[in-house]
């Protein structure tokens, strides 16, 4: 039975072509700067994203953390979304390991932070306050693409206030493909950008931080301090290079599949999905909370995997085909059918 795993785009497995380039990768000791494949990956992304330098790291969490630690010193502060990965989903690393204070601001429905509220949160130069140094955004955020004019306004604010601007671009290329822009139209707004190779791009491991040379020299040092200096990492970096050459344009398929999935689910009574809200590879499905565990079990029996939450996030990716999303929606439809006539019995299903 083929598994259809919609929990995340991190679950992709390396393709045959990707495994072949990994096996054949030219490698060296990257802590000595001698891994030609890592060097090529770093140079490629620095060039494509229009930045002076890049550093290859194990994870997006590490990439964001060394980015924050390179912008900020002990006692500094970064302004960040209340729902941002760099605030909410990274174990408080900036505070724990960087002595950097987060200043969270509620995310707007479109994933942005209101720039008036950001400006109001910037602290005066006064010993009572942490020093506000950095503004961090995320694109895509919850599958939503930050509007291009917003990026320009955010950059203008950061510049006017002397703040650095960091992008958690874990899914940067989903934003690029969805908007049909050149990646630099997004990255030009930012000083530093973190990009994940292990999400929709389909590499098994790895992220890259790009930015100005001086800042990236600090980042490279923090990578080592955090235990992230890797040796013959070219075996993995080769997968990243392969992904950049083969798996960027195809993100459009994931977006098409997400739209199709949302349309099919929206046609099922008793579940709630907004197809108009789908911009990239994420669909948000709501069911009556008491039905969640039964739905998850029903799908599991059919080789389909979801993560339960207040809303169910479904993510399309390299290992999910058009037929898979149709099969998934059909399975949800059948689940609803077999529970609906026994609506009175719903309590028993839990
Ligand atoms: C996945 C993700 C990261 C990094 O996660 P890792 O699992 O550490 O690679 C960072 N930001 C966002 C928005 C993500 O989705």
Residue-wise pLDDT for 133-164, tens only, equals: 999 999 999 999 999 999 999 999 999 999 99
Q: pTM to 2 decimals?
A: 0.96
The per-type count for the chain, helices as H runs and strands as E runs, is 15, 11
Q: How confident is the model at residue 115 (pLDDT cuts 50, 70, 90)?
A: very high
Give me ligand 1 centre to Cα 330, in Å: 30
Q: How confident is the model at residue 342 (pLDDT cuts 50, 70, 90)?
A: low
Give me ligand 1 centre to Cα 169, in Å: 9
Give me ligand 1 centre to Cα 61, in Å: 6
- For residue 31, the number of C-alpha atoms closer than 13 Å in the C-beta half-sphere is 9
Please say if the pLDDT value at position 1 is more than 50: yes
From atom 4 of ligand 1, which residue's Cα is the shortest distance away? 60
Among candidate residues 85, 79, 59, 70, the one with its CA nearest the CA of residue 195: 59
Summarize pLDDT for 233-278 with one digit per residue, the tens. 999 999 999 999 999 999 999 999 999 999 999 999 989 999 999 9
Q: Calculate what percentage of the chain has a pLDDT beyond 90.
A: 96
**Cα gap 180→18, rounded to integer Å:** 25
What average pLDDT does the structure give for the chain? 96
Ligand 1 proximity of 60 Cβ (cutoff 6 Å): yes
Structure token digits, residue 269: 């009574």
**Cα gap 81→137, rounded to integer Å:** 7
């Amino acid at each position: 039975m083929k598994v259809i795993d919609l929990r995340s785009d991190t679950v992709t497995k390396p393709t045959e072509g990707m495994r072949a380039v990994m096996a054949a990768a030219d490698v060296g000791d990257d802590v000595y700067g001698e891994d030609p494949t890592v060097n090529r990956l770093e140079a490629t992304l620095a060039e494509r994203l229009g930045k002076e330098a890049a550093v290859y790291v194990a994870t997006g969490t590490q990439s964001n953390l060394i980015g924050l630690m390179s912008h900020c010193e002990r006692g500094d502060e970064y302004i960040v979304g209340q729902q941002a990965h760099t605030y909410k989903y990274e174990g408080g690393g900036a505070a724990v390991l960087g002595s950097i204070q987060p200043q969270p601001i509620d995310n707007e429905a479109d994933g942005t932070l209101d720039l008036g509220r950001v400006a109001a949160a910037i602290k005066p130069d006064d010993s009572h306050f942490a020093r506000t140094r950095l503004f961090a955004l995320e694109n895509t955020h919850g599958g939503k693409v930050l509007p291009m004019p917003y990026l320009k306004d955010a950059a203008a604010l950061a510049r006017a206030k002397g703040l650095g601007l960091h992008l958690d671009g874990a899914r940067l290329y989903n934003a690029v493909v969805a908007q049909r822009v050149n990646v630099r139209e997004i990255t030009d707004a930012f000083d530093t950008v973190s990009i994940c190779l292990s999400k929709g791009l389909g590499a098994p491991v790895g992220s890259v931080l790009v930015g100005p040379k001086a800042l990236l020299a600090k980042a490279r040092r923090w990578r080592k301090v955090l235990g992230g200096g890797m040796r013959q990492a070219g075996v993995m970096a080769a997968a990243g290079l392969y992904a950049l050459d083969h798996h960027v344009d195809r993100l459009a398929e994931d977006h098409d599949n997400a739209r199709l999935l949302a349309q099919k689910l929206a046609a099922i009574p008793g579940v709630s999905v907004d197809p108009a809200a789908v911009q990239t590879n994420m669909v948000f499905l709501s069911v009556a909370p008491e039905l969640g565990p039964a739905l998850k079990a029903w799908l599991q029996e059919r080789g389909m995997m979801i993560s339960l939450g207040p809303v169910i996030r479904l993510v399309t990716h390299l290992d999910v085909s058009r037929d898979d999303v149709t099969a998934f929606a059909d399975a949800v439809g059948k689940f609803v059918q077999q529970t609906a006539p026994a609506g009175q019995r719903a309590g028993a299903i839990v």
